[in-house]
Amino acid sequence: MLPTELLPGATGPRGGAAPAGLLIGVDGGATKTIAATFNPDTGQASAAETGPSNPEAIGLDAAAGSINSAIMTALGVHADYLRDGQRATPETAISGAVIGIAGINNHEEGQRLLARVPSLKSKNALAVNDVVAAWASGSLAAPGITAISGTGSNTFGVNSRGQAWRCGGWGHILGDEGSGYLIALRAIQHAVAWRDGRGQWSSMIPRLLDFYELSNIEDIMAVVYRPFDKARIAAFAEQVAESADEGDEPAIRIFQQAAADLARQIEVIHATLQFDGPAEVTLIGSNFRAGEVFLGPLRERLRAVLGDQDFSVPRLPPVGGSLWLASRAAGAETRLRADDVAAALNAALRQPLRAGGPA
């Protein structure tokens, strides 16, 4: 599940000093794709954004097009560096690259995707699931567990022996427990039940009508089914959080269920990997901004996993996890300081370059 080059303690290719060259990280999913570059020599970083790159959602070729476009746009910032005669080809200009993409579930799928991205000709280019990159952004790729709750959900952990396990991440039909999509869907289901006379009133109902600009509950059919848009449904989770924060009982129960579902996945990883005691658990994703209505029941369920510590916050932005893994694959990890990388990336991400169409 985790390439040997990315395991804790890996030092990159055998022989010689850490290679010079740019590092590239990509974070892509069903909504957007971010590519980031970092020059270990100068500390210069860039970031570019384009459309979705989950191959399960849009197909392999379209996903590769989004990724390539984002990378090429981000590399434009390093034009002077790349014009140097010694860096005339991607193989010499890029020392390591890791793309973390939702929908990539094994090595073969990753290789098929990389083969369609001409900007990644580095011999140290790897493709992994985005939850692996999220783990790296949380703990700098050190042993621990990471849980994602954004549009979708996923959990991933690595122990001190280098063993890895993923739990969840099966998508909106087979899973997505604890995700924004399922939080929002359960709220919509509650509104439909109220309309039928099967459920109680909730402040989520007027919020639903306002959010989607609906005249009545029946109009929600077009939002959900024509055409299906997972991200559009998941966006309503923020409104559910506002209702829960105001004390709305149905909304609170939805978040309690989401916490129980996500906690179960984390517990399974902790048990499967046989952590020697409590584990560091990092939470990543927009739904955790709901605060204690989500974090409280999640923390309570995970007392045995957390021990005396609380949840950790990511050390790097999500795309920084891919970039940090790229440095490990290239043997350049010891050249990086997390605070410097985070500062450079966060500055670049405040106004990311906008990539054009597929390249």
Percentage of residues of the chain with pLDDT beyond 70:
93
Task: Please state the rounded mean pLDDT for residues 314-328.
Answer: 94
Percentage of residues of the chain with pLDDT beyond 90:
70
Task: Please state the rounded mean pLDDT for residues 157-168.
Answer: 92
Question: Quick one: tokens of 8?
Answer: 């804790």
Indicate whether 313 pLDDT > 80: yes
Per-residue pLDDT at 188:
98
Give the Cβ contact number of residue 57 at 10 Å.
Answer: 17
Question: Quick one: tokens of 198?
Answer: 């099967």
**Helix 318-330 and helix 130-139: axis angle, to 10°?**
90
- Give yes or no for a contact between 354 and 49, defined as CB atoms under 8 angstroms apart: yes
Closest CA to 121 of 90, 83, 98: 90
Per-residue pLDDT at 323:
95
- Give yes or no for a contact between 287 and 237, defined as CB atoms under 8 angstroms apart: yes
Indicate whether 358 pLDDT > 70: no
176-187 confidence digits (pLDDT tens)? 999 999 999 999
| pLDDT higher at 89 or 195 | 195
pLDDT tier, 122 (very low <50, low <70, confident <90, very high otherwise):
low
> Which parts of the chain fold into alpha helices (H)?
55-58, 60-75, 79-83, 90-93, 107-114, 130-139, 171-174, 180-196, 204-211, 220-225, 230-234, 237-245, 249-272, 292-301, 303-306, 318-330, 338-350
Per-residue pLDDT at 135:
92
- Give yes or no for a contact between 326 and 137, defined as CB atoms under 8 angstroms apart: no
Task: Please state the rounded mean pLDDT for residues 106-124.
Answer: 85
Per-residue pLDDT at 20:
66
Per-residue pLDDT at 29:
84
CA distance 256 to 264: 12
Same fold, 4-138+315-354 and 166-306: yes
The least confident of 9-13, 105-109, 351-355 is 9-13
3-class state of residue 159 by DSSP: coil
CA distance 263 to 241: 18
CA distance 165 to 161: 12
Indicate whether 351 pLDDT > 60: yes
235-256 confidence digits (pLDDT tens)? 999 999 999 999 999 999 999 9
CA distance 219 to 213: 9
- Give yes or no for a contact between 8 and 139, defined as CB atoms under 8 angstroms apart: no
20-74 confidence digits (pLDDT tens)? 689 999 999 878 899 999 999 889 999 999 999 999 889 999 999 999 999 999 9
Indicate whether 18 pLDDT > 90: no
Ranges of each domain in the chain: 4-138+315-354, 166-306
Question: Quick one: tokens of 144?
Answer: 């621990």
Using CA atoms, how far residue 58 sits from 63, 102, 243, in Å, is 6, 11, 33
Task: Please state the rounded mean pLDDT for residues 140-153.
Answer: 92
- Top CATH class, 4-138+315-354: alpha beta
CA distance 37 to 320: 9
Q: Which fold has domain 166-306?
A: Nucleotidyltransferase; domain 5 (3.30.420)
